[in-house]
Structure 1
C-alpha cells in the first residue's frame, strides 16, 4: 500500500502546505510506501526534504498521475487550488482520500479530513460528510525534528534575544521596519532573522543597521530549532513556523499577511503565550517595547495546548483507512 501526497510549495503559494505534508510523511514512512506528486515545487524544498528520503514524481497540471493509483492506496491532498472535482477524480480510482482543509470547505467526498487549527470542531463543517474528522491540536502537522525537541522553557523577565521569521515569501520592507524598532529597545542583545531564498535585496541594508542582527538562510531543521531555543520571544507570521515555535514553548508576537492566514491567526491568538498584532501592513504603528512587555507579563508557557498530540494519532488514522 502507498500513500501519495499531492501538494506543491514555492515562493508564490508559500511553503506551508508542502512542509506539513512532509511532517505526516515522516511519521508514516516506517509503515507505508510514500510518494510525493509535484507540479510546481521549489527545487530547494525538494533537495532539503525529499531527495534521498522519499520518492517523488513531477506531473503536469492535469491529473495523469491518477493512473498510478489503486484501490489499496491513500491520497493526501493539500492546496487551495484543488477543487471538489479533483477530489472526485481521485475517489473514482478507488483510492481513499485524506483532505487537508483549513477553511471548512466542501469535504463531502473525502474519507478523512485533517484540520489542525487549534480550536476547529465538527460543528464548523456545514457540508454533509461521513469523513473521519481529525481536528485541532491533536493532529498538529509539524516536522518530526520539532516533535523530538520539545522541552520545558522558562518565561524570561526581560527579552534579550528575538527570533524573527515572516515566512518564505519576502516581506522585506516589513522585516526591516520591525528590526529598526527592535534595535531601539534597551536590553535586546541579539535579533536572529530567518529568511527564505528570495530574500536578497534588503540583506546588505539590514546588516548595516546594527551588529546585533544575524541573518540566517537555508538552515536545517535542527539549526532552526537551536535558533528558537536560544531566543526569548518570537515574532512570526501565522503559518507552520508559528506552530513549530509555539510547540517549542516560545512566546510569540503574531502577525498575518494575507486573508488565507486569518483563521490560523485567530485560533493562535487564543493561546495564552501568543499576542496577536494584526495585519503585518500596520507594523509601523506598533510599539514593540510595550507589546514585548505585555507578552512577557502573560508568563504563560506550556499551558497544555498540545498535551493530547501524538504522532500515533496519524498512524491510527491511516491504519483505519487502510483496512
Structure 2
C-alpha cells in the first residue's frame, strides 16, 4: 500500500514522547487535508494506542517505490541514512531544532522555535518560527478559555510541573522542594516518567506518568513549569503563565530567547543553578512576573500554524 506521507519518528519511554507528540499533531492536520499517511519507527504501548485510535498505520518497513514524502523527526539521523532514503526516491522533510540536517537534498527543514532564523543558515527550504508550530487541535479550546479570564486577576491554585521522560538532573525533586518552600495550599501536579520520592508538607501533590489528554490537563492548571522542552511552547499557545528550568544548554538557549520576548520565564540551566538561586527566581515568577506573559503570548502564537505546516509539507509532492 502506498501513502502520501510517512512520518518517521520514535515514541518510547526511552526516547521520550516529545518528537512523537508533535508528529502526531502534524499527522492529524495532514489527515484533515485528506492525505493518506502512516508512521514508521519504534513505539511503545502508549504511542501505538494513540496511532490505532486515530486510524494511523504503523509500518514495519518503509515503502519507497511510490516516492512518498517522509517527515523525519529525531536527533540521531545520520547523513548516510537520510541520503539513502533520498536516493531511493523519498522526498524528505525534516523537523530540525538545531539546523543539524541542513543538507541540500532535504526538501523542507522545519524549525518552529521562536526566532529560529537567528539560529539557522536560512534557505528557501526552511519553514521557520511559530507560524509552523504543530499543536494539537484540542489546545484551541484551552486557549479560548484562557482568553475569557482577565490575566491580571488570574489566581494560581494549581501548578503543573512537566518533566516528561527524561529527568536528567533530578530537577523534579528540586522544583517540588522550591515550590513547597514558597507556596501553601496549592495543588501541584507532577508529570514525569518516574515517581519522585518527595513529601509535600505545604501543598497537595499528584504524580502522573504519561498523559493521554494534555489539553484536559492544561484546562485544570493555572501555571506550568517545565523542564525546558516542547511544553513551554504548548503552555504559551494556551496562554498559560509558564517558566522553564532547562536540562540542556540547547534548551537553555531557547528558553533565554523566549524569556527575552516575554513568552516564558527563565529559571536557569539546572546544572548551573544552585537551589537558593532557583528559589529566588521562582519566587519572583510566582509573585508577579507571571502576569506579564499573557498579552505577548496572545499576539505571538497563531491558531492556524499546524494547518499551515501541513499545507507546506504537501506542496513537496509536486516537486
TM category, shorter: 0.7 to 0.9
8 Å Cα contact 2:158-2:220 kept in structure 1: yes
Kept in 2: contact 1:70–1:94 (CA 8 A):
yes
User: What is aligned with 1:61?
Assistant: none
Matched, 1:140 2:133: yes
- Structure 2 counterpart of 1:239, from 229, 235, 250: 229
The answer to whether the 8 Å contact 2:113/2:254 transfers is yes
- The CA deviation at 1:51 is 5.0
Residue 284 of structure 1 is matched in structure 2 by 275
Paired position in structure 2 for 1:13: 15
Select the residue among 80, 103, 112 that pairs with 1:107. Answer: 103
Q: Which residue of 2 aligns with 1:62?
A: none
How much is the aligned-residue C-alpha RMSD, in angstroms? 2.6
- How much does 1:208 deviate? 5.7
Distance 1:305 1:52, change over 3 A: closer
* CA deviation after TM superposition for structure 1 residue 71, in Å: 4.7
- Counterpart Cα distance in 2 of 1:134 and 1:253: 26
Please show how residues 118-133 of structure 1 align to structure 2 within 5 Å: 118-121=114-117, 124-125=120-121, 132-133=125-126
Q: Corresponding residue for 2:75?
A: 80
Query: Per-residue deviation at 1:47?
Result: 1.9
Paired residue for 1:215?
207
Please give the secondary structure, in 1, of the residue aligned with 2:109.
strand
CA distance in 2, matches of 1:123, 1:218: 31
Residue number in structure 2 paired with 1:206? 198
Counting only pairs closer than 5 Å after superposition, residues 1-323 of structure 1 correspond to structure 2 as: 1-30=3-32, 31-38=34-41, 40-50=42-52, 53-58=55-60, 65-66=61-62, 68-105=63-100, 106-121=102-117, 124-125=120-121, 132-151=125-144, 152=147, 153-155=149-151, 156=153, 158-170=155-167, 173-196=170-193, 199-200=194-195, 202=196, 205-206=197-198, 209-210=201-202, 212-221=204-213, 224-281=214-271, 282=273, 284-285=275-276, 286=278, 287=280, 288-298=282-292, 300-301=294-295, 302-307=297-302, 309-323=304-318
| TM, length-normalised to structure 1 | 0.84
Say whether the 8 Å CA contact 1:159–1:188 is kept in structure 2: no
Structure 1: segments with no counterpart, 5+ residues: 59-64
Q: 1:212 to 1:103 in 2, by over 3 A?
A: same
Q: CA deviation at 1:73?
A: 1.2
TM superposition shift of 1:214:
1.8
In the TM superposition, what whole-angstrom CA distance separates every residue of 1:273-293 from its partner, at most 9, and x where no partner exists?
411111123362322323312
List per-residue Cα deviations over 1:58-82 (Å, max 9, x = no partner). 4xxxxxx34x113541001111111
- Cα 1:172–1:94 shift into 2, 3 Å: closer
User: Structure 2: 5+ residue runs without aligned partners?
Assistant: none
Q: Is the 8 A contact 1:160 1:189 kept in 2?
A: yes
Aligned residues: 305
Shift of 1:43: 2.5
Task: Please tell me whether the aligned partners of residues 240 and 294 of structure 2 are also in contact (alpha carbons under 8 angstroms).
Answer: no
Q: In 2, distance between residues paired with 1:186 and 1:150?
A: 26
Alpha-carbon distance between aligned partners in 1 of 2:47 and 2:301, rounded to the nearest angstrom: 27
1:196-224 deviations in Å (ceiling 9; x for gaps): 3xx13x3xx33564551122334322xx3
Q: Deviations over 1:209-251 (max 9, x none)?
A: 4551122334322xx3233233222111221222111110111
Work out the CA distance in 1 between the residues paired with 2:15 and 2:221: 28
| Residues in 2 aligned to 1:111 and 1:273: alpha-carbon distance in whole angstroms | 31
> Could you tell me whether the CA contact under 8 Å between 2:169 and 2:247 is conserved in 1?
no
